[in-house]
């Protein structure tokens, strides 16, 4: 099932940039915006990425403090 989405108050500058990108891809504005929405929707959110990081850290049992990271970084600079 598909639905209609309306975005109001888009500036002419933004519209023109999007239209140019669509034209460069040989797409209509509709096709271009739909493909961009699908691409963005397929990406994990920041919250999902952070949860993946937390799960990997817990699974590995590795705990490195910020102080340890900074010390390791600075060790190469001496």
The pLDDT tens digits of the residues spanning 16-61 come to 999 999 999 999 999 999 999 999 999 999 999 999 998 988 898 8
State the total domains in the chain: 1
What gap in Å lies between CA 73 and CA 20, rounded to an integer?
44
pLDDT at residue 70 greater than cutoff 80:
yes
State the average pLDDT over residues 5-15. 97
The answer to whether the predicted template modeling score (pTM) of the entire model surpasses 0.75 is no
State the average pLDDT over residues 4-13. 97
Residue 3 lies in a domain: no
User: Please, are residues 22 and 32 in contact by the beta-carbon 8 Å criterion?
Assistant: yes
What is the extent of the structural domain holding 66?
12-75
Q: How confident is the model at residue 58, as a pLDDT?
A: 87
Residue 29 lies in a domain: yes
Under 8 Å CB-to-CB from 52, ≥6 apart: which residues? 44
Residue 49 lies in a domain: yes
């Amino acid at each position: 099932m598909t639905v209609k989405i309306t975005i109001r108050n888009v500036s002419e500058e933004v519209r023109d940039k999007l239209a140019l990108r669509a034209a460069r891809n040989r797409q209509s504005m509709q096709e271009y915006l739909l493909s961009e929405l699908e691409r963005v929707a397929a990406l994990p959110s920041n919250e999902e990425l952070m949860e993946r990081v937390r799960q990997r850290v817990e699974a590995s049992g590795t705990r490195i403090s910020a102080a340890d990271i900074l010390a390791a970084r600075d060790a190469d600079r001496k």
